[in-house]
Amino acid sequence: MGDIRNIIQALKDCGTSRVVKHLEPERYLQSISAAKDLYQRKDEESLKRQELVFHTPRQVTTESKGIPHFSFGVPEKRPHYKFMAQSKRALEDLNLKSDDALINICQGSDVYVDESKDIFPYSLAYAGFQFGEFAGQLGDGRVHNLFDIEDKNSLLQTLQLKGSGLTPYSRFADGKAVVRSSIREFIMCESLHAIGIPSSRALQISSLPKTRARRSVFEPCAVITRFAPSWIRLGNFDLFRWRQDDKGLLKLADYSIDHVFKGLKGYKDTTSLNSFNDNLFEGISGGINNKELHSSKIDDEMTKYDKLFRHITGLNAESVAYWQAYGFCNGVLNTDNTSILGLSIDFGPFGFMDKFQPNYTPNHDDHALRYSFANQPTVIWWNLIKLAEALVIPLGAGPSLVAKVASTSRDAWEESEIKQISERASAIINLTGQEYEFKFTTKYAELMAKRLGYNLEVPAVLTDDNIKSTASRVTSFTLNIIEPMLRILTVSGVDYNDFFLALQNYDGPFLDEAGINGVDDGLYKVFFKEEQVKKIMDSYMGQEQSDSGETRKLVEEAEILSDWSKSYVQLVPNYKERVDTSKQYNPLFIPRNYILEAVTDHYTENQRSELNDPNAQLDNGPLEKLLLMATNPYDKSAWNHSFLPELEKEWTDTTKNEDLLMTQCGCSS
């Protein structure tokens, strides 16, 4: 960990741009030198060319008519900029101090260029499958990647601006981001990271007075600074598959291996892929449940491309396990929104699930429920299959043919080689799909166990020898604890996150011979609402209910609770051990949609004129309070109780207003 530095010093010490240095630019500007020269010219002809090259949407190609990986560009100049907030946690993690230089670079009013370090802003090219249909060329339509700098752990992070203007990839959009969605993403990035869910990060948000965007109505705009170790996504590979540009695809794959994953240094090949030739969790709900997967085996060594696909798959399996354990719904999981690092990125109309309803989607445009909570694991695997299809030749080549991949065109492979490539690629995909199922299910069970105060003791390093014993332990815990518990929560409708806190804080007995079904009365209040507990009690007292079968259903779940309680107390009999474990995994605060909406309304409704007036002072208090709570979800003492205490109380007392729970949003942002 180095000393805290200002952004200019950080850029001089460790600034770079891996994408610019190693990947292929669009044909209009083939080098930083050319981009810098154009950007610095102020004559009328050059300004017209800047508009054409930097801010005009188009189909992009390279000088050789291939597909570029990126295009040089600069943020559009806005009439005014107004700083709103920075994440203290992000500043600490980047070893940066807040000053005017950082604020100006992070809102796009200043542009940093350093030809000697390959630094010039750029936008990435990618395609994508959106709602299952291929959408053609997409790309960073309102994003400018600035540069890479080292964080406090010496890991390179790519900083980018969102809402910073038109790029070659804007298509029919305007390059803008509205205040409403910018605040939501700014908070959610930092909240997910603080909870422990893999996510991109957010550093700064600034409003843009006098800049408005037409959505359903005209809305005020903002720009946020995000960062991640890489912004390469599955959609980057989709683009080259679509155009059958194998050379560009291979260059992207090699870049991912060498510079995103540092030669696959983080990939640990402790288990053979053939160990997953059977589905070890068949019958357990919640995974991909892909019936098309079948037993397969490979009889040769893994190549670097096999390892790349396997590593990306494993990272995404673990990430979606976190989403499912914490009830987070992305909203739109297209391939262009799926990170090769398994990070939560480019959130759609996202939201935490207030109640356990598997079919919940926060996206009111998702009528088919493709991206519902229950479908997230399956959809991520579907996206990964698209990645495998893009990489089918290097995956299928194997060690015997991989040396030929870079120099062999598609029509030059012999029939026997095509057959070998096809069969091996199919085997790799099937085996990796089973491994995805294993890693997702195991991580999900491990997280749920810890939320319940139990250490499932999943081995830190999986090997061929401990896979089956791990699967057996996970299966038992899932069938006896997780599934019956979620069944009860589905019926009772108690708050999902609050349930874990209530169970964590429950210090009464679980079993009581004198209680209904042998369960202590107090435990019923953890699993059921007060009025539901009364109905259960009245039913056992012989009082008839006329509520269309609701009481009967509650009584059935009360019986399930009896068996669940007996299983649970055998696993975690010690109250202190249970609390010590669970409090590390149960956040005391999550930014629910109605809270985010209250903060956005504070700006868009209560301060509409101030947002549009460059000289007016904004009241950023609620945003700062929300950021403080969201970035310290396990530590109330860090919330500064004297600062807006009324909001702290309001936001930690879960609303009983059903109209504010399980809400949905549109995709427009």
Please state the φ and ψ torsions of residue 571, each to the nearest 5 degrees. Answer: -80, -45
Q: Which amino acid is at 592?
A: R
Distance CA 376, CA 399 (A): 34
Give CA–CA dist 139/123, Å, rounded: 7
User: CA-to-CA distance for 474 and 25, rounded, in angstroms?
Assistant: 47
Contact 191, 213 (CB under 8 A): no
Contact indicator for 163, 221 with CB cutoff of 8 Å = yes
Distance CA(457)–CA(281), nearest Å, equals 18
Burial of 654 (0-12, 13-18, 19+ CB in 10 A): middle
Residue 143: strand pairing partners: 162
Q: Give the 3-state secondary structure of residue 609.
A: helix
List the one residue out of 113, 348, 382, 46 whose CA is nearest residue 234: 382
Identity of the amino acid at 56: T
The number of helix segments (H) and strand segments (E) in the chain equals: 24, 12
Neighbours of 118 (CB within 10 A): 18
Structure tokens at 401: 């043919």
Q: Where are the alpha helices (DSSP H) in 328-375?
A: none
SS (H, E, C) 487-534: HHHHHHCCEHHHHHHHHHHCCCCCECCCCHHHECHHHHHHHCCHHHHH
Q: How many Cα atoms within 13 Å fall on the side-chain side of residue 102? A: 23
Rg of the chain over Cα atoms, rounded to whole angstroms, equals 26
Tokens of 10: 């950080």
Residue with tokens 């995103």: 260
Cα–Cα distances (Å) from 445 to 285, 398, 473, in that order, read 12, 34, 10
E strand or H helix that includes residue 12: helix 7-14
How far apart are alpha carbons 516 and 67 in whole angstroms?
68
CA distance 168 to 27: 12
CB atoms within 10 A of CB 1: 9
Task: Give SS3 for 84.
Answer: strand
Query: CA–CA separation, 296 vs 572, rounded Å?
Result: 39
Measured distance between the N- and C-terminal CA atoms of the chain, rounded to whole angstroms: 37
Give the tokens for residue 634. 């396990």
Q: Are 457 and 572 in contact (CB under 8 A)?
A: no
Q: How far apart are CA 325 and CA 573, in angstroms?
A: 23
**117 sits in which H/E element:** none
Q: How far is Cα of residue 655 from the mean position of the Cα atoms in its chain?
A: 26
- Contact call for residues 406 and 360 (beta carbons, < 8 A): no
Q: Which residue numbers are catalytic?
A: 336
Q: Is 507 exposed, middle or buried (0-12, 13-18, 19+ CB in 10 A)?
A: exposed
